[in-house]
Structure formats: structure tokens, C-alpha cells
Amino acid sequence: MADGATLNNPHPQSEATRGRGTARSGVEGATPDTVLASAPSTTSWSPSPAKGGGGFDVHAARAQFPILSRTVNGKPLVYLDSAASAQKPRAVIDALTAAMEGSYSNVHRGLHTLANETTEAFEQARETVARFLNAESPDQIVWTKGGTEAFNLVAAGLAQSLKPGDEIVTTQMEHHANIVPWSMLRDRLGIVLKWAPVLDDGSLDMAGLAALIGPRTKLVAVTHMSNVLGTVNDVRAVADLAHAAGALVLVDGCQGAVHCSPDVQALDCDFYVFTGHKLYGPTGIGGMYGKRAALEALPPYQGGGEMIATVTEDAVTYAGIPHRFEAGTPPILEAIGLGAALEWFMAFDRQAVAAHERALYDHVVARLSGLNWLRIIGEAPGKGAILTFTVEGAHAHDVAQILDRYGVAVRAGLHCAEPLSKRFGITSSARASFALYNTVEDADAFVDALIKAREFFV
Ligand SMILES: *Cc1c(COP(=O)(O)O)cnc(C)c1O
């Protein structure tokens, strides 16, 4: 462990667990009780319940993220912007370096040793994603450069069979990545885009959604977990509604994959989209799971190498799934890095991690309760650890910039979900999002900085 990590260590009581290297879990040292004993303002803090027998040691996990020991504006970094992009553990950094130093080549088209080794590592990462999502088979995992490209891949495929008057149903809580590709189809093809309402507490109006699904519905596109509200939707129930009408269901799992331990077979979705950089992996990689029938019915996306079976001057035949959706040299290193991230992540008890994140959220909300200048957007039962809020008399951008002076990183603006802001009658909001590595000290530093920030606006 670099000296800097010790010098900048914002959490002295976690010193014991820092520098213990890369043990994945179960490292002795700081326990929730020792945190409780030494942290300030812990009135409502309760340790995460350990479900599944694994438990979760946040300090051991946090110590694996080199960036988290740096400072920002002279203060220890408090990173609460993981819903925009998560930081990377040593296991991912090492996997990328090891690939570049030890075995790297293009994939699928060489007969030499490095090509074979790299192809194996690349396809192994696909197998890891399949295990992570509980897909039936690795060939039902399609690589893309991120979540956004996967929505566009499905939209481009569906465009070839949609007719004017066909309907796509989505919701008011979607990310622009799960809106704009469908809006583009509407404008191009004359299909109808319908919007399921969001209730005042941030829940999806399931009755309202059901009422929109009918015989002309071809696709229901819904998020597993909102990146703004934190709402976790019952996507299995949505899938049942869609399938009863003969429609496909696409689930935006860009947040859900991180926080909801998805099992795509249990969810019965036709497509499940994920993005690597929010899963503690690199940027430039993401993809989707598809049911075999749904993928086989989808025409190819881009044309080029890798996605073909044969090419003559007069005709082209395509490769089978998943390769026919993966034209050109794929993001090889990024896929290998994501595979390493998911192997690392799966070594934790993911339900205990989610419970830890939610306990941090509850702690913050308890400390903020009763502040009449703060409005929280999204309080659906069972929601994930995303706190979106407005501060009376302050633009969210200013709030975020003042928090940054205290080393606290939050997102501010429309969060790529403009219809949702409109639904709640706001033009911007700030968002603190919690991840596996956040501690109760982070949560307290955020609340303390927010209360100080408020003084700038009164
Ligand atoms: C981040 C995000 C996306 C888009 O993912 P990219 O990695 O930016 O392509 C889509 N939906 C949700 C809910 C997200 O949080």
C-alpha cells in the first residue's frame, strides 16, 4: 500500500484493515461494531445485516480501490457518484495490465498462440457475464461498447419489422438511453411511444402500465432500477404483462446489474442491458443478455468483419449469435477487464453489499429528516441507495460545486432523465449514489458538507 494511502486516510479507524492487500472478503479487523464505536454522529447507523451467511466487510473491500485514498481540494475524497460511473478495484487494474503485458492480440482470427490465448480470455469474460446474470448460455451475451449501444442495437433490429401504428411502451423514469432510440423510431417509422406514469413516491404505476399494453404493443422497455429515484421495479411482473400481449420486454439493467443481483431467467426478460463501467469494470464495454429466440429473430446491427460467415461479391451470409452483432474488432481488453470485475464482485455476498448500501442511505436520510430546505425525490419502498434531492433556493450545480470543495463528489443536473425531472416539476437536482466501497464516514461527511453548503444559500 502506498504511503499516500495512509497519509490521506480519511478513516483512521479503518487503518487496521488497510494495507492488508487483496483478500476478497472476510478480512478480520474493522467490524460494524468498531465502526459504530468510533464514528461521529452515528445516531441512526445500524450495521448491515449479513444475509446468505457471507456478511460484508466494507473496509476490506474499500482498501482494494487505490483511487479512494486520494484527496480532492485538500480533503479526503468522498465519492458518491457511482451511479454515473464506479471506481475500479485493484483486480481490474491488474487484469488490464496483465493482459497488455502478458498476452494480447486480436481475437478469433489468428492461428498463433497469443491470438488463441486472447480469444480464450475474451470468450471467458463472456462466460463470466453469463454466470453473473444466470443466462442459459454464454452465446446469449452480446458485447457492445456500453449500455447505450445495446439499446440502439435492439432498436435498429426492431426497426426492420415495425409498422406505422405499432406501439412501444416505456416509463417516465427511464434514462435517455432507454428513450431516445425509441423516439427516433417513432419519428422515422410512425410508431407510437407510450409512457407509463410514475407515482408521487417514485414507484412505477403498474396499473397505469398495464392499461397501456395492448394488441399493438411490440416492446415494453423498462428500467430495473432508476438511476435517479433508486426505485427498483418488479420487472418480472412487467414481463408477464408484456408476454400476455405478445410483446417483447427489454430491461435496462445498467443500475440493476450492480445492485439487484439479477437472474435473467427468473425475470423472464427478452433482453437485459448492462454497462461495464458501473459494474466496477472499464469504460467502453457493456452489452446485453437476450433470450435465444429474441436474439435469433433480431437482424444484424453493424456490418463488417467478425459478424459474417461468408462474403462474396454478390452475397453475404452472417455468423450465428452472438458474433453477428459484433462487427469489427471488439473491445477486447475492456471485456477482459469487465470479466475480472465481475469475478471480483461475485466473490462478495451481493445481497449483503446491497444491504450495506441501503443502510448508508437510511443513515443519511435519518440525519437529513426534518430539514425543511431539502426535498428528496424518490421514496419508493424497497428502493436502492440513490439519494436525489433539491436544496431550496439553490441550483443543483452550485450545490455540487460547493460539496466538491469539501471533497464530496455528487452528480447534478437532469441525470439523463429529463422526462422524470419534468414529472416532478424540477429543472435540476443533485444526486448522491452509494456503492460497495462507501462507508458511514462517507455518509457523515456528505451530510456535514451539505449542511455547511446550505449556509451559502441563505
Ligand atoms: C448509465 C445508464 C445508462 C447508460 O449507460 P452508458 O454506459 O452511459 O451507455 C442507461 N440506463 C441507466 C439506468 C443508467 O444508469
Q: What is the pLDDT of residues 195-231, one digit of tens each?
A: 999 999 999 999 999 999 999 999 999 999 999 999 9
Q: How large is the average pLDDT for residues 39-66? A: 67
pLDDT range class, residue 54, cuts 50, 70, 90: low
Supply the residue whose CA is at minimum distance from atom 14 of ligand 1: 254
What mean pLDDT, rounded, does the chain reach?
Answer: 90
pLDDT digits (tens, 9 = 90+) for 338-370: 999 999 999 999 999 999 999 999 999 999 999
341/87 Cα distance (integer angstroms): 11
Q: How far is the CA of 367 from the centre of ligand 1 (A)?
A: 30
Could you tell me the distance, in angstroms and rounded to a whole number, from the CA of residue 102 to the centre of ligand 1? 32
Closest atom of ligand 1 to CA, residue 174: 13
- What is the third-level CATH fold of 125-346? Aspartate Aminotransferase; domain 2 (3.40.640)
| Spans of all domains in the chain | 125-346, 350-457
CA dist 119 → 95, 138, 274, 438 (Å): 15, 14, 22, 35
Q: Is 16 left (phi over 0), alpha (psi -120 to 50) or beta?
A: alpha
Q: Write down the pLDDT at residue 386.
A: 98
**Which helix H or strand E contains 377, and what residues bound it?**
strand 374-377
Written in H, E and C, the secondary structure of 21-45 is: CCCCCCCCCCCHHHHHHHCCCCCCC
pLDDT band at 14, cuts 50/70/90?
very low
Q: How many angstroms is it from 119 CA to the middle of ligand 1? A: 27
Pocket of ligand 1 (CB under 6 A): 146-148, 175, 177-178, 223, 227, 252, 254-255, 275, 277-278, 286
Look at residue 13 and tell me whether its pLDDT is greater than 90: no
Q: Which atom, in ligand 1's list, is nearest to the CA of 148?
A: 9
The number of the ligand 1 atom at minimal distance from the alpha carbon of 145 is 9
Atom of ligand 1 nearest to the CA of 223: 13
- Candidates 425, 433, 434; CA nearest to 198 is 425
Report CA dihedral (380, 384, 390, 391) to the nearest 10 degrees: 110
Is residue 221 a contact partner of residue 253, using CB atoms and an 8 Å limit? no
The CATH architecture of the domain made up of 350-457 is Alpha-Beta Complex (3.90)
Ligand 1, atom 2, lies closest to the CA of: 254
pLDDT of residue 2: 35
Residues 287-332: pLDDT tens digits?
A: 999 999 999 999 999 999 999 999 999 999 999 999 999 999 999 9
Question: pLDDT exceeding 90 applies to what percent of the chain?
Answer: 86
> Residue 40 C-alpha to ligand 1 middle, in angstroms?
35
pLDDT tens column, 70-123: 999 999 999 999 999 999 999 999 999 999 999 999 998 778 999 999 999 999
> Known catalytic residue: 269?
no
Rg of the Cα atoms in the chain: 23
Indicate whether 399 pLDDT > 80: yes
Assign 46 a pLDDT band (cuts: 50, 70, 90): low
Atom 6 of ligand 1 has which residue's CA nearest to it?
147
Distance of CA 252 from the midpoint of ligand 1 (Å): 8
The CA distances from residue 34 to 111, 440, 447, in Å, are: 56, 12, 21
